Amino acid sequence: MNLEKYARLAFEGIEREYPYYLGHVFSEHQEIKSPKSLHPVFFGCFDWHSSVHGYWLLAKAISILKDDSFVESCRDVFRRNLVPEKISGEVLYLSRNPGFECPYGLAWLLTFSNELKASKDLEIQSFSDSLKPLEEVALKQIESWLSKLTYPVRTGTHNQTAFSMVLIHDWAILNNPEIKDFLERKARIFFGDDSDYAIHLEPSGEDFLSPSLGSAWLMSRVLDPGDFQAWTEKTIPSLGRGFCFDPVQPSDRSNGRLCHLDGLNLSRSWMLYEIGQKMKKEDSRFQSIMDSAKEHRSSGLKGLDSGFYAGSHWLGTFAAYLDFSIN
């Protein structure tokens, strides 16, 4: 793992206000404000959710890397921005704009919160108290969203239901058993009766997540090994037998949507790895799936060296998440 390389990509964007994609719904006549005015903490990395998971990556780096000038610079970012008065600005925005960044950005916020709480670095751990009011608002909005969702969203981008459910489930394991149980019931309702995924039709041109593997990744967390084996036989029977995903190649890494395919390679890799790990090693699919995971990782990491901010502001997070998943 090259954690410092990944973290430097996030660091370079974490306090870079422009360019920025502002997803804001105007319910009345309002002045158009700058990203930093609306989002006092998460104003960098091109968009709110990338800023959130950029902070997650920096927290990882501070906890693990040697204490040098780069780590101290990361600490300074936390000291400047994760302060109560700035967090209160984020709380106010989220409270006034229900549905904002739900589920993807809010799921990453819970992941960031978990990282703060679990950090072995006492200073970084202390920032979890500052973040708590925002965590509470995010959780309420996630609960409202999930309780009302009748059908899952099966896309390869931010609004994919399964991906966010995994992140929220990981948060709930450590924080809220009732939410954990609720998520597991919802997962079974949404995906338990699935069959015959059309995996040969993936990907769509702007995917950074696999719809089929995202669902399987979630079910690998929810089902015991025997039930998961049966579920995969029903939903993706050809995976690892007659069919394997091939790594994809973006045609233009300067394009913010087309470079999603680098992220798809990375997310496919960790999903394939975790799906394979849930199978028995004597399963005929096991080795093929694990080999595919390695191939996707190798292809996905190439995107980190593109030099284009379109990918560099977020791909470091996906690379780090992958490597922490497999180690």
Q: What percent of the chain has pLDDT over 90?
A: 91
CB distance 205 to 258 below 8 Å = yes
pLDDT over threshold 90, residue 1: no
- Per-residue pLDDT tens for 80-101? 999 999 999 999 999 999 999 9
**Count of structural domains within the chain:** 1
CB distance 138 to 42 below 8 Å = no
Q: Is 86 domain-assigned?
A: no
The number of beta carbons lying within 10 Å of the beta carbon of residue 303 is 25
d(CA 50, CA 194): 31
CB contact set of 222 (below 8 Å; sequence gap of 6+): 169, 183, 184, 187, 188
Q: 284, 191, 301, 184: which is closest to 247 by C-alpha?
A: 301
Q: Is 198 domain-assigned?
A: yes
CB distance 113 to 124 below 8 Å = no
Type of residue found at 274 = E
- Per-residue pLDDT tens for 149-172? 999 999 999 999 999 999 999 999
As a whole number, mean pLDDT of residues 266-277 equals 96
Q: Which two tokens stand for residue 301?
A: 């990491």
* Segments forming the whole domain that contains residue 222: 191-327
Provide the strand spans (E) within the chain: none
Q: Is 287 domain-assigned?
A: yes
d(CA 9, CA 313): 6
Global pTM reads 0.96
**Residue 284 pLDDT class (50, 70, 90 cuts):** confident
Q: Is 172 domain-assigned?
A: no
Q: 103, 84, 110: which is closest to 144 by C-alpha?
A: 103
User: Locate tokens 């899952």: which residue?
Assistant: 152
Position 174 scores a pLDDT of 95
Q: Which two tokens stand for residue 181?
A: 């149980």
d(CA 145, CA 315): 27
d(CA 241, CA 86): 52
Q: Is 179 domain-assigned?
A: no
Q: Is 273 domain-assigned?
A: yes
Q: 190, 208, 192: which is closest to 270 by C-alpha?
A: 208
Q: Is 168 domain-assigned?
A: no
Q: Is 127 domain-assigned?
A: no
